[in-house]
Amino acid sequence: MLDADAALLRLKEGNEKFRKGASHIEVDEASRLELVEQQKPFAIILGCSDSRVPSELVFAQGLGDLFVIRVAGNIAAPSQIGSIEFAADKFASNLVVVLGHSHCGAIKATISAIEEPEQTHSPNLSAIVNSIKPGIQSCLDSGDSLDDKVQKAVRANVQSTIDKLVSDSEILRQKISEEGLKIVGAEYCLESGVVEFFQ
């Protein structure tokens, strides 16, 4: 299994291929059948469910390469944390990437809910918005444009999700301290196709 640094390098190289249009992945029957009995994903991606940000394409990876969890706003609710724990434990994946993206609709909905609290959402959408709110409120400046607010909030939300993964998972804390697991944040830019990793 790849260590965290090697896994991160593979993702960066894959994103470069994607941006150059050289990321076409063909899957033949033999490759597909090899994965029937086992998988060995080298990285875990907690990303947004936005249709414009499919992790396998953005990182130019194929079947069995990534363990991907997608949820609006790339939040860390118990089911997402449990999924990450499962992959880190079962497959010894040593890299977790929390992937936000520009123009995120869940972030925009949360900013709107903060600025116009009289708005109502369904209980389920409210659960997502309420998960995002605490991590972004302090970064919002009333003098900023909406684009600036979204940009700051996307990054703040990624960091908030990382903090939640660490604080709410003894398994992940143990793997960080004893097994070299790394959790890193990143943002995908819809316009450029670039994934910027935060260190």
Using CA atoms, how far residue 14 sits from 27, 47, 57, 65, 155, in Å, is: 17, 16, 9, 11, 22
Given CA atoms 33, 34, 37, 42 in this order, what sign does their dihedral have?
negative
Beta pairing, strands 195-198 & 66-70? unpaired
Length of the chain: 199
pLDDT at 26 (0 to 100):
79
Q: What confidence tens digit (pLDDT) does each residue in 141-167 have?
A: 888 999 999 999 999 999 999 999 999
Residue 99: its H or E element: strand 95-101
Stronger pLDDT, 106 or 35, i.e. the higher one: 106
pLDDT at 120 (0 to 100):
81
Answer whether 65's CB lies under 8 Å from 89's CB. Answer: no
pLDDT at 77 (0 to 100):
96
Whether the per-residue pLDDT at 199 is higher than 90: the answer is: no
Token representation of residue 19: 């941006």
- φ and ψ at residue 47, rounded to 5 degrees: -125, 175
Confidence of residue 189 (pLDDT cuts 50, 70, 90): very high
pLDDT at 27 (0 to 100):
79
Q: Note the pTM of the prediction, 2 decimals.
A: 0.94
Domain boundaries, the chain: 4-198
pLDDT at 68 (0 to 100):
98
Using CA atoms, how far residue 102 sits from 20, 77, 99, in Å, is: 20, 21, 10
pLDDT at 158 (0 to 100):
98
pLDDT at 28 (0 to 100):
80
CATH class label, 4-198: alpha beta
Q: What confidence tens digit (pLDDT) does each residue in 37-78 have?
A: 899 999 999 999 999 999 999 999 999 999 999 999 999 999
Confidence of residue 182 (pLDDT cuts 50, 70, 90): very high
